[in-house]
Structure 1
Amino acid sequence: MASPSIKRSKNQEVGRSLPLRFRWALPLVTRRCAAVVVEVSLVAASALIPYSIGWYAKEHSTAEPVPLNPVLASTEEAIAKTLAYPLREPLTRSVAPLTNLFWCGALVIPVVVTSWQLYLLGKTGKTTPKRWFGVQVVTAYGAPPGMIRAIWREAVGRWGLPFSAAYLLWRYTGAFPDVGILLGLAGFMLLAESSCYLFNARRRTLHDQLAGTFVLDGRKNFSSYPNSFQTGQSLGHNPTVTLEMEDGLPFPDEATEPRQRPTRTVTTIVLTSQTPKRDSLNLWLWMRRHPGVTLLLIAFASMASILGTFVGTQIYIQSQANRREFKKQDNQVFLELVKQLSSTPGKAIEERQGVILALARLDDARAVPFLVDLLAQEKTPSSIDAIQQALVSKGPEALAPLQRLNQALQNDQEMLRRRGTAQNQQLVALRQRATKRAIAKIVTIYTGQLPETELSRTDLSQVNTGSAQFTLVLDNLILSGINFRSANLTNASLRNSIFYGPGEDERLGTFDDWIADLSGADLRDAELTGSNLTNAVLNGTNLMRATLNRAKLSNSRLTGANLSSAKLISADLRQGVLENASLTGADLGEAKFARANLHGARLGKVKAVRSDFTFANLSQSNWQGANLSGANLSSANLQEADLSSTKLIGVDLRNAQLQKAKLRNCDLSNADLRGANLAGVDLQGATFATTPPVRSNQFLAKPAIAASSARIKGVNFADVKNLDGEQINFICSNGGRHPQCPTDK
């Protein structure tokens, strides 16, 4: 195949020997790397800047929140699935209007910037950063690469292959789901791809070799480079060179005498391939040369296809006939059992129960709906229990119909309480108890096998009176992924149960983790000791008087939850979200709230002895009358918090932010306030040390014990409000700073 001709003028040939008028001091490889870094920085900045502005607007905007843009939600979900990153906030959350605007910009602007740079690269061979650093991308003929070649070079060669290789290694090795390892692998693959530059004679990286491009110094003319790659070496064969003159005559042979050679100018170099042409494999030619073998093969193939079609058809027909026959038999059995139930007299209870259990063993899709409808109408208690057993034997497929019947019976109970006879109320209560028991037994039997099971708005509450007594007991079970949203679980026993587990990838901390949703559920007086509620959703959940001792609630969402009078002794709520939650009167002894968000929470009269609140957000929280003795509040945010009349004996408040907080009448004995910000703090009536009581036979009162005094050395009390003379004297004598102290005058 003839290769393209390369025409050169005499001026271009002369230009090769002329010195360049401008050269950059940096070598080409350094400028190439710098251009790549700037290109990536431009794209990253075009995404990070609007995203940061949107995040700031989300945190500080006072505008009415709006739902998150569906495009943003879908993008966030896709990224989380790809990187196996768990979503800490629901996709249906509300954000500020400006957040939607700037986050949409964070998606669109990088695409625009990348497209524009690819366009420049395809049309001119230079992106904006490449132009800044004097770098140019060309083809083997010195032309710009074009759009298709530019996209292939960047999307596939430079970024696609390295990132794909890194992702596959990360996803299917022990490195998953650590995103840090993924970033390290991606960087290594990018470096390896670019390192091909060192092992190529023409200094070409892998993406240049894939796209057929060369990177040159943009300050030089293309003709000034040794053009060995422009003639034929880059085409993969040895060409024949033919020189043509201006008059069209061939160039004179070297053997011709010099005086016989005419003076002519070379205008064209024609490159002709000398690679011999190979005959391609021709099926038709082979068939003509071997007619007998061809006919034999065709005959065998025809017979095999006919026989296979016949056998397959017969098998399909027979299987369909068998299926219809079995279905007909099952249908007859089902109809016969239904007929027996309708014709059996009420006194034949045992026979009726046997028919019900036979229906449960029948493999018919109509069995479960029929049994549920039968339960909604049954009046005999023993038959109700039999239907319950039959539904339990059907397993998880009975949960959805049972949930719907449970909700309907709950509505019936509410209606009958207002107007209904005692007999009807008892009958509905028995049916409701049957649904509760059936659901509880199925969940118990199939523990850990019910992810994404829907039990929202289901009534599983305790019943203590009458013949329909019921208590939900789901101790030591795996309940991860079950949706209990707005369910009634009062007085339920869920001791040591697990509400958080790995998803299909069997790894915790990834996107597909199974997390129970208990938002809005009623868990009053529930027993949750030792339960694992990590990452669980408990927004608006009623946990009044619930027992959560030693429960794991780290990273859980408890926004607006009611934990009044709850027991949370030694519970782990690190990094939990408890904004505007109510913990009035709760026992938080030795609980862990490090980095938790309790903004606006109500914690009046709580017992938080030796609890850990380091780096927690406690701004605008209310602690009136609480006992925080020995608690760790170092580096906590207590701005505008109300700590009036609280016991802060031995509390660690180092580096805490207490701006405009109220500490009226609080006891700060032995508290450590070093490094705390007390600007605008109200300390009216606060005590910094305990004074031992005066005995009746003691003439003089003993001075305050030094060990019980608050540590305030170096603390600035200049902007503290409502300090009396005694407090100022204590501050000055214990190393605190105040304008009235002698050393500060």
Structure 2
Amino acid sequence: MATQVKKASNRKSPAWRIQLHQLPLGLRRGAASIVEISLVVASALVPYSIGLVAKSCTGTWPCTATETVPLNPVLANTKDAIAQTLAVPRRDTNQQVPPLTNLLWCAALAAPVLVVGRQLYLLGKKGQTSPKRSLGVQVVTESGDPPGLIRAVWREGLGRWGLPFTTAYLIWRYSGAFPDLGILLGLAALMWLGENAIALFDPERRTLHDRIAGTFVIDSATFTPYPEADRGIPLRSKKPVTLEVQSSWSEADDQRHEKVTTIVLSSGSRGRKLHLWYWMRQHPGTMLLIAAVSTMIAILGTFVGTQIYIQNQANWRDAKQQNNKVFLALVNQLSQSYPYQIEERRSAILALARLEDSRAVPFLVDLLGQEVAPRLIDTTQQALVSVGPKALPYLQRLNLALQKDEALLRGSALEERQLIARRLGATKRAIAKILSIYTTQIQNTDLSRTNLDKVTTEPAPFTLVLDKTDLSRIQFKGANLTGASLRGSRFFGAGEDGRLGTFDDWIADLSGADLKEANLTDAFLSQVPLNRTNLIRATLNRANLSNAQLVGANLSSAKLIEADLRQAVLENASLTGADLGDANLTKSNLSGARLGKVRAVGTKFDFALLTQSNWQGADMTEAQLRNANLQNADLSSTKLTRANLSEAQLQNAKFRNANLSAADLRGANLEGADFQGATFADAKPRQPDQFIQELPPAASSARVKGVDFSKVKNLETKQIRFICDQGGLHPRCE
């Protein structure tokens, strides 16, 4: 029997560690788990938080560079995978971040993996992670040895985390609680606590993951190793073996101030375990029968499968050969028939559309781009409509080509220009009909830059009418949809899971599209990208634009009566002359927007970001601007009668010649605001023979009680007198 001499130093453990080791084992075990989780979370949270700071700030450390780059592909794929698993909606599909943010977020992704790997290695080799070692907790097998790396991964990955969280996820996903993340977190916490709480009712104080991995959690400070003869006996039935060793000093020990305190026996042989090979040797007859039956099944299955495959391939070749003959015959008929043989050519075109051949659709589209007879152009268009959604990519490419031809032929002969217009009109009609007929069969169709604008002149008048149509799976980026009728249409729909607000939602992209004078009344445009979209004179009454992206969009003279624009992003957008009557823009972002002469009667701007926006000449009667941020906004000559500006941020805002009668300014911050020529109350008109003007009625007076006007600019004497009379604060008030 081999022995190992274990020496102990005279150095004593810190007092705090001794006190911790005196706590109950269960309490120390729970504390170790919390510390382990905290280490993993902190390793990801710290670099991620610094990365967020680097992304949001500019000019100072850690913002060392102002340029941005695309998000690292590994980060983007990880983000998508997490979002898809947790049903989180997609945001910022083309996210741009500073290079430092990319580096820090990569570190946030790698650090938890390194921390978990290190702790698993320590658990497998020594039975103790760093927190467990500090708290005097150790994980061992029945033989008293450390669990080993494979058993440690099995214990932590499956038993401790995998089983509880997978159970919680499945309950959340299929019980109707999906996609509420709060319920998922609650279920995960309950499952994790329940899995650990099993130890309270177990006589050996073992949790489920300990039973799955065959491990025990012991107090490392009091654990006594066992001799080699007891290695095969389960830990629960062992009795400690005490060896009496007389401590003795030697010269070497005297120099090192150490002495022999214990003798640790090395591990010996393990108990016999049942393995598959052992069972096979004990039952040779059964194994022979199983092998014979398996071989026969494999041979029979291979033979049947081969015959089925050969027959299917033969049938496929015959069908393909037959289709090829028909296709060549129809193409030959079209090439040999004369242009005036209209009926023969029409029959061949319609037959091609019904043919199951991958070459038929490209051929028909090419034919549409070359046909000169109006009747045959219409027939080809109808044939492509009957083909369905698979014709859309080819029609879109032909549409783009005809747009270029139309631009190049300006100034050419009228007949040639009309022919191009007729072909272009045919592609428009075909695309519109396919979108309206095959709505449920369209998947991620790209119609970017497609010309579907309204034409009122001959020879090809066209108006896109897709009212109450689901267009959520179509990309219209940069498309020309001028004058389109899209009343009640949906551009945002539930994905495969049938629920809005999840990862697989279908969201159309209208960025850069031309929707001038389009009718989008009652349209559902929530979450839809509309950045730099042209919506001049468009009708968006009662449209749902909540959370929509309208950065740089042009909404001049647009009608947005009762539209829902909550949390919409309209940075640097133009709404000059737009009608926002009774619209809801709560928590929207209109920073830098141009809203001159806008009509916003009764519009809600509560908690909206309106910094540096321009409202000159706007009608904001009864507008709700509670807690809105209007710093540096230009509200000159605006009508703010009965507007609610309570608790608003109005630093350095311009109210020159603005009408603030009956407006509520209580709690607003007016530091640096310019009130030159502003009206706080509608004065009662004087009679012709009346010398003294009467005080304005209280109902028309602005509410300024308690409002600090001490740091505002350009106040006139009569304005100060009104402020003082109404209970406002100013240095010249008595």
TM over 0.5: yes
Q: Deviations over 1:565-601 (max 9, x none)?
A: 1100000011111111111111001111111111111
Q: Does 1:673 align with 2:665?
A: yes
C-alpha distance 242-579 of structure 1, shift in aligned 2 (>3 A): closer
- Residue correspondence of structure 1 range 173-184 to structure 2 within 5 A: 173-184=175-186
**After the TM superposition, which of the residue ranges 361-370 and 525-534 deviates more from structure 2?**
361-370
The answer to whether 1:44 aligns with 2:41 is: yes
Counterpart CA distance in 2 for 1:37 and 1:10 is 32
One-letter amino acid of the counterpart of residue 234, structure 2: S
| Aligned residue in 1 for 2:404 | 411
Q: Comparing 641-650 with 337-346, which one deviates more in the overlay? A: 337-346
| 8 Å CA contact 1:7, 1:269 repeated in 2 | no
Match of 1:329 in 2: 322
Aligned-partner SS, 1:436: helix
Structure 1 residue 50: Cα displacement: 2.4
Aligned to 1:731: 723
Per the alignment, residue 223 of structure 1 pairs with 224
* Structure 2 residue 79 is matched with structure 1 residue 76: yes
Shift of 1:306: 7.6
Question: What amino acid sits opposite 1:654 in the alignment?
Answer: S
> Out of 66, 70, 82, which is 1:67 matched to?
70
How has the CA–CA distance of structure 1 residues 720 and 134 changed in structure 2, closer, same or farther, with 3 Å as cutoff? Answer: farther
**Does 2:92 match 1:89?**
yes
Matches within 5 A, 1:259-274: none
Give the CA deviation at 1:144.
4.1
1:376-455 equivalent positions in 2, closer than 5 A? 376-417=369-410, 419-455=411-447
What TM-score do the two structures reach when normalised by structure 1? 0.86
Assess if the C-alpha contact under 8 Å between 1:239 and 1:272 holds in 2. no
Distance in structure 1 (CA, Å) of the matches to 2:166 and 2:264 = 50
Structure 2 vs 1, CA of residues 544 and 223 (structure 1 numbering), >3 Å: closer, same or farther? same
Q: What residue number does 1:573 align with?
A: 565
Given the superposition, is the C-alpha separation of residues 32 and 439 from structure 1 closer, same or farther in structure 2, using an over 3 Å criterion? same
Aligned residues of 2:657 and 2:678 also touching (Cα < 8 A): yes
Match of 1:359 among 352, 363, 366: 352
Describe the superposition over 1:477-526 as per-residue Cα deviations: whole angstroms up to 9, x where unpaired.
Answer: 11112100000000000000011111111111100000010010000000
**Deviation of 1:230 (Å):** 7.3
**Is the 1:518–1:537 contact (alpha carbons within 8 Å) kept by the matching residues of 2?**
yes
Structure 1 residues 626 and 114, CA gap change in structure 2 (3 angstroms): same
Partner of 1:188: 190
Q: Which residue of 1 aligns with 2:535?
A: 543
Q: What letter is aligned with 1:172?
A: Y
**Rounded Cα–Cα distance in structure 2 between residues aligned with 1:407 and 1:508:** 33
For residue 475 of structure 2, give the secondary structure of its aligned residue in structure 1: coil
Residue of structure 1 in register with 2:105 after alignment: 103
Is contact 2:143–2:233 with CA below 8 Å preserved after alignment? no
2: CA distance between counterparts of 1:268 and 1:57? 54
Tell me which residue corresponds to 2:604.
612
- What letter corresponds to residue 677 of structure 2 in structure 1? G
Quote how far apart the aligned CAs of 1:59 are. Answer: 2.1
Change (3 A) 1:6 1:375: same
> Residues of 1 paired with 2:238 and 2:274: CA distance?
12
Partner SS, residue 441 of structure 2: coil
The AA in structure 2 aligned to 1:57 is A
The residue identity in structure 1 corresponding to 2:83 is A
Match of 1:234 in 2: 234
In 2 relative to 1, CA 66–322 (structure 1 residues): closer, same or farther, beyond 3 Å? Answer: closer
Structure 2 gap segments, 5+ residues each? 9-16, 60-65, 246-262
1:151 is matched with 153
- Using the alignment, how far apart are the partners of 1:6 and 1:134 within structure 2? 27
CA spacing shift, 1:668–1:243, aligned 2, 3 Å: closer
After superposing the two structures, state which structure 1 stretch, 715-724 or 541-550, moved more.
715-724
| Alpha-carbon distance, 1:315 to partner | 5.0
Gaps spanning 5+ residues in structure 1: where?
Answer: 13-20, 247-264
516, 524, 548: which is aligned to 2:516? Answer: 524
Q: Deviations over 1:8-62 (max 9, x none)?
A: 99999xxxxxxxx955453222222222222222322222232222222222225
Letter in 1 for 2:376: S
CA distance in 2, matches of 1:399, 1:338: 22
Q: How many residues align?
A: 700
CA contact (8 A) 2:384 2:430 kept: yes
Secondary structure at the aligned position of 1:691 is classed as coil
The residue type equivalent to 1:179 in the other structure is L
Question: Which residue does the alignment assign to 1:695?
Answer: 687
What secondary structure sits across from 2:440 in the alignment? coil
Cα displacement (A) at 1:268: 11
Letter in 2 for 1:53: I
What letter matches 2:612 in structure 1? Q
What is the alpha-carbon distance in structure 2 between the residues aligned to residue 173 and residue 22 of structure 1?
48
Give 1:241 deviation, angstroms: 13
Separation (CA, whole Å) in 1 of partners of 2:209 and 2:435: 55
**Matched residue, 1:58:** 55
| Aligned amino acid, residue 461 of structure 1 | D
Match in the other structure for 1:200: 202
Q: Secondary structure at the match of 1:156?
A: helix
Contact 1:241-1:270 within 8 A present in 2 as well: no
CA contact (8 A) 2:231 2:270 kept: no
How far 1:84 sits from its partner (Å)? 1.1
- The CA deviation at 1:413 is 0.1
Instruction: Give 1:550 deviation, angstroms.
Output: 0.2
Q: Which moved more, 1:137-146 or 1:690-699?
A: 137-146
Query: Measured at CA, do residues 667 and 282 of structure 1 come closer, stay the same or move farther in structure 2, by a change above 3 Å?
Result: same
Which residue of the partner structure matches residue 250 of structure 2?
Answer: none
Counterpart AA for 1:223: T
CA distance in 2, matches of 1:8, 1:120: 22
The 1:679–1:244 alpha-carbon spacing in structure 2 relative to 1, beyond 3 Å, is closer
Please report how far the alpha carbon of residue 329 of structure 1 lies from its aligned counterpart in structure 2 after TM superposition: 2.3
- Offset at residue 146 of structure 1 (A): 4.1
Distance apart, 1:85 and its partner CA: 0.4
User: What TM-score, normalized by structure 2, do the two folds share?
Assistant: 0.88
Kept in 2, the 8 Å contact 1:243–1:270? The answer is no
Return the offset for 1:562: 0.8
SS of the counterpart of 1:165?
A: helix
- Give the secondary-structure state (helix, strand or coil) at the position aligned to 1:377: coil
Q: Deviations over 1:590-642 (max 9, x none)?
A: 11111111111111111111111111111111111111111111011111111
The residue identity in structure 2 corresponding to 1:66 is: V
Q: Equivalent residue for 1:252?
A: none
Give distance in 1, aligned partners of 2:632 and 2:186.
Answer: 44
Q: Over alpha carbons, which structure has the higher Rg?
A: 1
CA distance in structure 2 between the aligned counterparts of 1:483 and 1:161, rounded to whole angstroms: 41
Match of 2:638 in 1: 646
Query: What is the Cα deviation at residue 543 of structure 1?
Result: 0.6
Corresponding residue of 1:260: none
Could you tell me how far 1:316 is from its partner in structure 2?
4.4
SS at match of 1:214: strand
Change beyond 3 A, Cα 1:348–1:129: same
C-alpha contact 1:645 1:665 (8 A) present in aligned 2: yes
Does the Cα contact within 8 Å between 2:452 and 2:479 map onto a contact in 1? Answer: yes
After TM superposition, the structure 1 = structure 2 runs for residues 283-302 of structure 1, keeping only pairs within 5 Å, are 285-286=284-285
Say if 1:239 and 1:271, in contact at 8 Å, map to a contact too. Answer: no
**1:615-671 superposed Cα distances (whole Å, 9 cap, x missing partner):** 111111111111111111101111111111111111111111112222222111111
* Worse-matched range after superposition: 543-552 or 597-606: 597-606
Q: How far apart, CA to CA, are the structure 1 residues paired with 2:300 and 2:199?
A: 60
Corresponding residue of 1:460: 452
